[in-house]
Structure formats: structure tokens, C-alpha cells
Amino acid sequence: MRIIIISQWFEPEPIFKGLPFARELIKRGHSVQVLTGFPNYPGGKLYPGYKVKFLQIENMEGARVIRLPLFPSHDQSGKKRILNYISFAMSLFFMAPWLVRQADVVYVYHPPATVAAGALALKWFRRIPFVYDIQDLWPETLEATGMVGSKWIFRAVSWWCNLVYKQAKHITVLSPGFKRALVERRVPQEKVSVIYNWCDEDQIKIVDRAIAAEAEPAMRGCFNVVFAGTMGKAQALEAVLYAAMWLHEELPAVQFVFVGGGVEVERLKAFTREKHIENVIFLPRRPFSEIGTVLAMADVLLVHLKDDPLFEITLPSKTQAYMAVGRPILMAVRGDSATLVEHAGAGLTCEPEDAASIADAVRTLYKMPREEREAMGQAGLKFYRERLSLAVGTERFENVFYAASYKEPKPIEPEEYE
């Protein structure tokens, strides 16, 4: 097949459905073109060697990558973020139909929802059907994270999304809950397939614990509960700090390790100092390729999100990465995430934003025989390889692409754990 990928973010930006996905499709015999912007995510500044211009075409491991102009930004300014999204959407709409070679199907990575402008242009002017891959439910996510407060913007985004859903040949989503939400919006059930995400497998580095101990002296001799990733309002990590405080006297060997960046980091550090929480350490953000030593020293890997109905139907991307490194997971997220971890036997679940529940789960894991925890980690790894890996996910996308391009009668629906 001839496949076009539309994504605002692509290599060298950190996106797991970027170059690894394109490479896997090429390995399977397909030709791939990519429409993307000039790399500036997540910092909002252009990567070295790049500058915004009218057009740039590269060849990346066999994929034809077409870069279109945008306004680079990714800070907390809502206006700049909107300008970032809209500028790329306009470039796509007016330029994409004239730049791409003929194709059988377009794959669109959402967010942001504005990238669908390119898919609509290619459908209307070049008659190329598109598959819309939803990673965030807009406008619900924008409202839940506080990014959009205006009712008219909310309604406009909702109208846009409904238009895109109607125009898409097929829609893929990351969880059963997302599918239910779209069906409630009157998207036909047969038009939506659940394809679970994989992680960036190129960046998974398994490090021997003895070697890791040399690199992470602050984690030696402790039972480490590790949270790795963005620390923002959606993660609601204050409850985890309270759990750490309550466990310190009872289980002094337990240590909570937070590694990453985000808008809440400094506030969480200040809270830790104010409450004199001594069993918590913060490590600076580092690329996933360099976090292997921290993960190797982890006894438990923690996933935590705000107790919000929206997060009950999502699957945090770190879940797959945690499974892939073979460590037991403590899932403090309701709904689909908890169901997946329980089905895989990959760890324990607890209530989000409930310090007592988090503390109870950590206590249970700490008192559990090490062999039992290791078995959980290995169960998660096995589940990842058999159900969630890049190879498995790409095969499922192939089925959807064939169906969308009228080459096969119907995509194969993957299993759903509800």
C-alpha cells in the first residue's frame, strides 16, 4: 500500500508512532510519506539544524518526510498553543494536496485535532480516504486540563471533531472507553476499532540492577516506588506525597522516586520540604533512552492520574513502557487502565487521589515475596509482547488500512478488555 502519515510531531521529536511506525510499515512492504512540522516539541524551540521555512523534504530510513511551516511553541500560553496548532493546520490544508504523491490511505495521528485539516484536504481534493487515530478525546481533554475555558471555543472544537469523525473512513482509538464515548456521540460502532498503543521500543534499555546501582546511588538499599514522566495538574501527585509521608515511619525502607519535568515539579518539591517528607526524592527529567538505570532500580512503577471521569477511559502511555521493562505496576487510575493491568496480571490497582489506598497498595507490594513481584513484572512483559507490541499493533493497523482503501472487506477487531 501507499500510505501517508499526517502528524504534527515526528522524529527527532519524541513520538512513539513516528519513525518506528513508519519503519515497521516500510519493512512490511508499504511505501510511506509523512506530512509533519518543523521539530519543536516538547520544549517549543526548534531542534538544532532546523529552521522554519516554506518547505523541507527529507528521506528518513525510506520514508519521504515533508515538513511544513508552523509557529513553534509549547509553553503554557493558550494563545501561542492555539497559534501553533492553527498555523500547522493551515499549512496542511493549503499545501498537502499539491505536495504528496498519490496514495491509497492517509493515517492521521491526533492530537491535536487540527491536523485533520490535511486529511480533509486530501479527501476532498485528491479523493484519498483517511484513518483517524484518536489519542486524546477533544474537547473533553482540553476542558479537563484547563486549556480551554471559553464555551464558544469548546463548541467550535466539538463541531470540528464531529465533522472529522463523519468524514473519516475509519477511526482507531486506544481504549474500549474511547470507543464507548464515540458511540455515545453517534459514531457508528462498526466504524471504530480499538488498537492498543505500544511504547517506543527503540528506547527501552534493560540495565542490570548491579550496574544501575552504581549510576543511581540515591536509590541504593531502598524499596523504590518510581513515578517517571510529566508532573502536571492531570497527574495530581499530592496524594502520592501524603502516602509517602504516612508510610515513612512504618516502612522506612520505602522510598518514592519522582523523575521527570512538568509545571507542578517545583510546587511538589516545596510541598515535600514544607511537610518534611524524608522518603521522597526528585530526579531531573531525562530522555527515555537514559532512564533505564532508574527503571532497573525500581521495585514498583507507579501510574497516577487525577480522579476524573475522562481518565477512566484512557490508557496512560507509560503503562505500555512499564510493562515492556518487566517491572510490577501500581495503577492508580480507574477504569480501562486498571482493567488492563488486572487482566495482564502485571501488578496491583488502587484508588487515584486517595493517599490511604495508595499507601495500602505499596504496603502490600512491599510485604509480598520478591518472587511474586517479579512474576507480576514478567506477566506484564509477556502480555506486552503478545498483545501490545509495535509488531502486533502495526499488523492491526494494516488490516484497518486495507479496509479503508477498499482492498479488504473488513478490519479485524482486536480483543477488548472491559
Does residue 82 carry a pLDDT above 80? yes
Q: For position 418, what pLDDT does the model report?
A: 44
Query: What mean pLDDT do residues 412-417 have?
Result: 54
**19 pLDDT tier (thresholds 50, 70, 90):** very high
Q: For position 147, what pLDDT does the model report?
A: 58
120 Cβ partners below 8 Å, 6+ apart?
Answer: 93, 163, 164, 167
Does residue 412 carry a pLDDT above 60? no
**145 pLDDT tier (thresholds 50, 70, 90):** low
Lowest mean pLDDT among 34-43, 138-147, 379-388: 138-147
- Determine the Cα–Cα distance for residues 162 and 155; give it in Å rounded to an integer: 11
Q: For position 416, what pLDDT does the model report?
A: 55
User: Quick one: 201-387 is in which CATH superfamily?
Assistant: Glycogen Phosphorylase B; (3.40.50.2000)
CATH class of 2-198+389-404: alpha beta
Q: Reduced to 3 DSSP states, what percent helix, strand and coil does the chain have, rounded to the nearest 5?
A: 45, 15, 35
Query: What mean pLDDT do residues 183-206 have?
Result: 90
Q: For position 257, what pLDDT does the model report?
A: 97
- Residue 30 burial (CB count, 10 A): 17
Predicted confidence (pLDDT) per residue in 282-337, tens digit: 999 887 778 889 999 999 999 999 998 888 998 998 899 999 999 999 999 999 99
Q: For position 79, what pLDDT does the model report?
A: 79
Predicted confidence (pLDDT) per residue in 207-233, tens digit: 888 888 888 999 999 999 999 988 988
- Residue 20 burial (CB count, 10 A): 20
Q: Are strands 63-68 and 56-60 parallel, antiparallel or unpaired?
A: antiparallel
- Look over the chain and give the mean of its residue pLDDT values, rounded to a whole number: 91
**204 pLDDT tier (thresholds 50, 70, 90):** confident
Query: What mean pLDDT do residues 128-141 have?
Result: 88
Predicted confidence (pLDDT) per residue in 240-265, tens digit: 999 999 999 999 999 999 999 888 99
pLDDT above 70 coverage of the chain, percent: 94
The residue written with cell numbers 507490541 in the block is 389
Q: Is 275 exposed, middle or buried (0-12, 13-18, 19+ CB in 10 A)?
A: middle
Does residue 15 carry a pLDDT above 80? yes
The residue written with cell numbers 484508588 in the block is 351
- Determine the Cα–Cα distance for residues 242 and 354; give it in Å rounded to an integer: 9
Does residue 270 carry a pLDDT above 50? yes
What is the length of the chain? 418
Nearest residue to 329 via CA among 344, 306, 348, 357: 348
Say if CB 92 and CB 122 are below 8 A apart.
no
Instruction: Note the pTM of the prediction, 2 decimals.
Output: 0.87
In the chain, CATH 3.40.50.2000 sits at 2-198+389-404, 201-387
Cα-based torsion angle of the residue sequence 37, 41, 44, 46 in order, rounded to the nearest 10 degrees: -60
**C-alpha cell of 86?**
492553527
SS3 290: helix
**Position 212: which residue type?**
A
Between 416 and 162, the more confident residue is 162
Would you put residue 188 in left (φ > 0), alpha (ψ -120 to 50) or beta? Answer: beta
Does residue 413 carry a pLDDT above 70? no
Predicted confidence (pLDDT) per residue in 322-370, tens digit: 999 999 999 999 999 999 999 999 999 999 999 999 999 999 999 999 9
Nearest residue to 386 via CA among 347, 414, 353, 356: 414
